[in-house]
Amino acid sequence: MAGGQGSRLRPLTLTRPKPMVEVLGRPVIDFVKDAMQDASIDTIVVTTGYRGEQLEQHVESWNTLSNPIDAWVNQESTPMGTAGSVRLLAEHLTETFVVGSGDSVASFDIGALLSAHRQSGAKVTMALWEVEDPTEFGIVGLSADHNGTLDGQLREGYICRFKEKPTAAEAFSNVINAGLYIIEPEVLALVPEGEKFDFSKQLFPLVLEKGWPMYAKTIDGVWFDVGHPSELIRAQHTLITQRQSLPFPLPKGTFEGKSFVAESAVVNGTLEGTVVSAQSVVGSGSHLQDVLVMSECSIGENCMLQNTVLGQGVSIGSGSVLNNVILGDGTALEPNSSFGNCRIPAPE
C-alpha cells in the first residue's frame, strides 16, 4: 500500500509520495520490499494514488535488479482507503496474500509470520510491534485461544480486541498494529466493491464480529512509522547503530561513528548522528548534528545544522544556522540564513 499523501511530512512530500522519502539513502518502500523478497514472495503489486508516477518508475527498477522480482503498480483513480485499494485487485488475489505498508521503515522475518498464520488456521494474521507508550497508536488485545480471555501480557496469540489511541487508563496492552497483514481471499470479499474502506477501522472489526479467527505475532527486527520528520532522524540513528545485524543491504559509503556518508558524497565538516546521501557536499567548518541530508544537496562553509531534514537538491549558503528545520526539495537559502522550528516552504 503506497497511496497516502504523507501530509505530516510536508514539505518533503510536496514533490514526492511518502514511500519515496529516503532513510539512509533508500526510499522507505524498499525496506518492506526486501523483507517480502526474503520471505520468497514472488510477486509484488504496489497500490498508488498521490504522485503515483514516481512510484511506477521506481517499481520498474526492481525488475532489473540483480535479484529481480515480478512487480507492478496499480494506480487508484480516487482514494479507496487501505482495504478498498486492495479490493481493486481481488481478481489477482486468489490465494493467501501479504499486505504491507510502503510508507514505513519495516524489515523483519515475514516468513515466520506466514508460518504462524498457517499453524493457527487464522483468516487474518497481523504483525505487531511493542511500544513503551501505546496512546499514540492502535493497540491490539490477544488471548491464548480463539474466543478466549484477553491477556495483556501476551505477545503472540489470537486477536480478541482493538482500541485506537487509548488513554493510559484504557490501554490493555502495549503491542500495536505494525501495518503488515497475511490475509485469506474470503476476507477480501467482505470489503464492499467500489466503496472506501479501511483495514483497521472497518474490515478487521468486521472479521472479529463474524467470529473468524485472527492471529497476531510480535515481530523482532526494524519498524518505524515515519509519519513525522523526527521519526526519520530516529530511524536513521537506529539503522546506523544496528547496521551489523540488519537483514538488508546498506548503500555504499562509510560509517563514521553514528554517521553515514554515501560513496559519492564529499564532507569537509564534522558530523554527529547524521546521514549524508549521494552526490551531496558539506563545506569545511560546517557542523551537522542529527541531520538527514538527501541526495544532491550542497551545504556551504561554516554552517551549523541541528535536528534538520534536507530534501533532494537543497542548497544552503555559507554561515547559515538551522535548528529543527525541514527543507523541501530544491530549496535554496542565502548565506548567513538563520531559521528555527519551521518548514520551508511552509505547508499550506
pLDDT score, position 14: 81
Q: Are strands 26-27 and 22-23 parallel, antiparallel or unpaired?
A: antiparallel
Which amino acid belongs to residue 270?
T
**Which cell goes with 61?**
527498477
Mean local confidence (pLDDT), 11-19: 82
Checking if the pLDDT of 347 tops 70, the result is no
Report the Cα 45 to chain-centroid distance in Å: 17
pLDDT at 340: 93
Continuous H helices in 29-134: 29-38, 52-62, 81-87, 110-120
Q: What is the mean pLDDT of residues 302-328?
A: 95
Q: In this structure, what are the phi and psi dihedrals at residue 301, rounded to the nearest 5 degrees? A: -80, 150
What's the pLDDT score for residue 348?
A: 61
Can you tell me the mean pLDDT for 84-110?
Answer: 87
Domains of the chain: 7-229 (3.90.550.10), 251-344 (2.160.10.10)
Of residues 216 and 226, more confidence is placed in: 216
pLDDT score, position 24:
82
φ/ψ of 108, rounded to 5, equals -160, 180
In sign, the C-alpha dihedral spanning 176, 179, 185, 186 is positive
What's the one-letter identity of residue 347?
P
Locus of grid cell 562509510 = 254
Assess whether pLDDT exceeds 80 at residue 279.
Answer: yes
Q: Do 34 and 131 form a contact (C-beta atoms < 8 A)?
A: no
Average pLDDT over residues 273-290: 94
* pLDDT score recorded for residue 247: 67
- Single out the residue of 73, 77, 133, 82 nearest to residue 104, CA to CA: 82
**Among 43-52, 120-129, 170-179, where is mean pLDDT lowest?**
43-52
User: Would the pLDDT of 342 be above 80?
Assistant: yes
Residue 279: all three cell numbers together:
552526490
**Does position 295 have pLDDT exceeding 80, yes or no?**
yes
The residue ranking higher by pLDDT, 306 or 54, is: 306
Please name which of 148, 153, 219 lies closest in space to residue 161, comparing C-alpha atoms: 148
pTM for the structure as a whole: 0.84
- pLDDT score of 76 more than 80: no
Query: Does residue 327 surpass a pLDDT of 70?
Result: yes
In percent, the amount of the chain with pLDDT more than 90 equals 46
Question: pLDDT per residue over 146-187, tens digit each?
Answer: 989 999 899 999 999 998 888 989 999 999 988 899 999 999
d(CA 346, CA 348): 6
